[in-house]
Structure 1
Amino acid sequence: MHILGLCNGQLHGNSEILLKAALTEATAADPTITTAWIHVPSLVIPRNPAPLKSAMDVSMGTNKGQMSGAAPTTAEDVDDRQAALNAILDADAIIVASATYSHQPPGFLKVLMDRIGGPYLDVGFVRNARAKQAAGDPKFADFKYDARLLKPRALGFIMTGGSTTPDQFSMALPTMNLFFYCLHAKVVDQFLGKNFMDAGSVLLDPAVMERSRLLARNVVSQLGKEFDDAAYLGPSEPGACPYCHLSAIEFLHDGDNGVGCTTCGARGKLVVGETAAGGGKAQILPEWEEDSEWSCVTLKGKIKHGEDILSWGSRERGKMAAVEEEKAKWLGVEMPQVPLPSSRL
């Protein structure tokens, strides 16, 4: 088994230290495990590149822009995307350690996953397409995919930051979850490490170092298990979403106290009840739907979204001819651009 580490913080910082603590613990727990890591901010990605040649087109040709680049990429451009993609697809588990900037993981990881992940690594689409192909659907007769996409994977997320208050981490774990949901990998454990500002300051707190090692042991314990068989072993508060195990909600304003999980999209409604944590006092907490077709964590939710994209893409494509002339007009509008050192003529 192989575990990939992704560091999404500064070099020689707290994220790197916690990631290395986790990876060394993984190999200590099972010496047959191999590990490797990537410092995500150091990756080189050409600007506005076309998708990789191996990238899937989940629109099945209905969205031409998805499969093309908007600016020239020359043969001389260094491009780390394929190497990073291979590292992700070869891994049986991925442990991510990240800093927190403006309540979220730094955008370096989002840039990477926007370029190689999302629709290009949509396991729900692959499984749906395979079923349609087996049923003889001619649209999927030539469908091909990377078999590594369907191997079971476990995930572990470590977030750190300098703030002492939870409000400054409000979208840290929610955003991290969304970077990887396309892979249909099981999030086994996740945690926030607060109060760590200086590079290396995590070493002042043995508890957070041990927490990283615990996360690694939890991930190792679920290696090789299919999504539905693997267990979530991390923290979960009363009323938390049962799919992503986080507590960020939005109001649906449906007249029935409906709420949605801000992270994964699951739906539920607020109910009044008693909990042990409430000490017998009445509390208002979400009651979540079962077998959600809205949560992007579930395979059903992924397939629903994929079918929505295919359906709407087909309808929209049939209307585009009516606006081609106006589109060309707007794209031809000349406006001053800010001169940049990197501008290519």
Structure 2
Amino acid sequence: MTTQALTTDANTTGAGAARVLGLSCGQPRGSAEILLKEALQAAAAAGADVQLVRLEELRIPSGPDPSEPDDAWWFWERLVECAGLIVSTPIISRSVTGRLKLLGDRLLGPNADAAIIEQLLEVRRAGHEPTVPFRLDERVLRPRVAGFLAVGGALTSQWRALALPLLHTLTFSMSTAVVDQALFGGAGTPRSIVLDADALTRAKLLGERVAGQLGRGLDDAEYLGDAGLCPMCHLDVVVLRGTDVECATCGARGRLAGADGAVSWTDLTTSVIGMADRQAHSVEIQETAARHAGQRAEIERRASAYDAFDPVVRPAADEPVSTRS
């Protein structure tokens, strides 16, 4: 599959209508995959068709890597065809795995944004072409729910604070409704999550919750996970500017309402989870591109001043990796 425009009917039903896709982002058969299998078994018991993809088995070229083989678009096909997504990742340096970030950068963002796709369709229905012709795959608009599992070895919260916020970058662009999310600690040696019966039970519950809402979208799915501070992403990671509060995960805004740290959420339309902010961002992208088109010669003239400054160092093609520093 290439990145040309796709116009598959967003309302088409088929094998993926009751499918839950599981993405395992850790070692094969490791703790993250064990939790994922617990969730997928529960989803299957609830009647879902389940599939498991191991991120470690996908070839995802980056930088100077050869462009082929490339499994990113193979995964894209499974993503847009599924009705439910469960992602399970180890927690690495307080965050998620690097390969998961790479996969998200390759496939998601503007090219998978439901708001942008709706705008592109509207522009083309009017007989025009957008200034920035993002990939157009109408299957993105299908209703889809998701659940997140993240597991690490640490017992304290500061070592896992960024895992769930970054997992949300995999779902907000496609308007996938996150219905449950869970963090686990204490699994610091291989496969040791099996010692935590509560964690296995919690993963099973997440699978049941995802399977129970297949066919629902952002507007009608129900969040069933642990309540967090933010009413949109249900997480607790915030940016404070005086008494102004911004959710660092999704962008919802509010103000500190009292000495006890309570937040009064004053503007949920700024959350990237909803469509309003992404629709405004879509317009902003097109307007910026149109403005820059008329300044292209000046942009190139100014940028060319930096071309001659080239203190780049790089490894020789035949230099052994072990000798590079």
**What is the TM-score with the length of structure 1 in the denominator?**
0.81
More divergent stretch after superposition (223-232 vs 304-313): 304-313
- In the TM superposition, residue 143 of structure 1 has moved relative to its aligned partner by 8.7
**Identity percentage over the alignment?**
31
2:179 paired with 1:188: yes
Match of 2:110 among 119, 139, 144: 119
Matches within 5 A, 1:279-318: 283-290=260-267, 292-318=268-294
Question: Given residue 111 of structure 2, which amino acid in structure 1 is its aligned partner?
Answer: Y
Question: Given residue 90 of structure 1, which amino acid in structure 2 is its aligned partner?
Answer: E
- For the structure 1 residues 81 and 143, does the alpha-carbon distance in structure 2 shift closer, same or farther, using more than 3 Å as the test? closer
Between the aligned partners of 1:73 and 1:162, the Cα distance in structure 2 is: 35
Q: Name the residue aligned to 2:241.
A: 252
Contact 1:41–1:109 (Cα < 8 Å) also in 2: no
Between the aligned partners of 2:279 and 2:141, the Cα distance in structure 1 is: 15
Q: Name the residue aligned to 1:201.
A: 192
Match of 2:45 among 7, 12, 28: 28
Structure 1 stretches of 4+ moved >4 Å: 71-74, 140-144, 340-343
Q: Name the residue aligned to 1:215.
A: 206
RMSD of aligned residue pairs (Cα, Å):
2.2
2:17 paired with 1:40: no
Give secondary structure in 2 for the equivalent of 1:139: coil
- Listed as ranges, the gaps of 5+ residues in structure 1 are 49-70, 273-281
Contact 2:32–2:151 (Cα < 8 Å) also in 1: yes
Q: Name the residue aligned to 1:263.
A: 249
Q: Name the residue aligned to 1:139.
A: 129
2:69 paired with 1:78: yes
Match of 1:339 among 285, 302, 315: 315
Give secondary structure in 1 for the equivalent of 2:261: strand
- For the structure 1 residues 79 and 197, does the alpha-carbon distance in structure 2 shift closer, same or farther, using more than 3 Å as the test? same
More divergent stretch after superposition (316-325 vs 301-310): 316-325
Between the aligned partners of 2:140 and 2:83, the Cα distance in structure 1 is: 11
The count of aligned residue pairs is: 301
Q: Name the residue aligned to 1:59.
A: none
Contact 2:187–2:193 (Cα < 8 Å) also in 1: yes
Between the aligned partners of 2:221 and 2:190, the Cα distance in structure 1 is: 34
Contact 1:260–1:268 (Cα < 8 Å) also in 2: yes
Between the aligned partners of 1:190 and 1:342, the Cα distance in structure 2 is: 46
Give secondary structure in 2 for the equivalent of 1:183: coil
- In the TM superposition, residue 131 of structure 1 has moved relative to its aligned partner by 3.5
- In the TM superposition, residue 317 of structure 1 has moved relative to its aligned partner by 3.4
2:218 paired with 1:227: yes
Between the aligned partners of 2:108 and 2:95, the Cα distance in structure 1 is: 18
Q: Name the residue aligned to 1:169.
A: 160
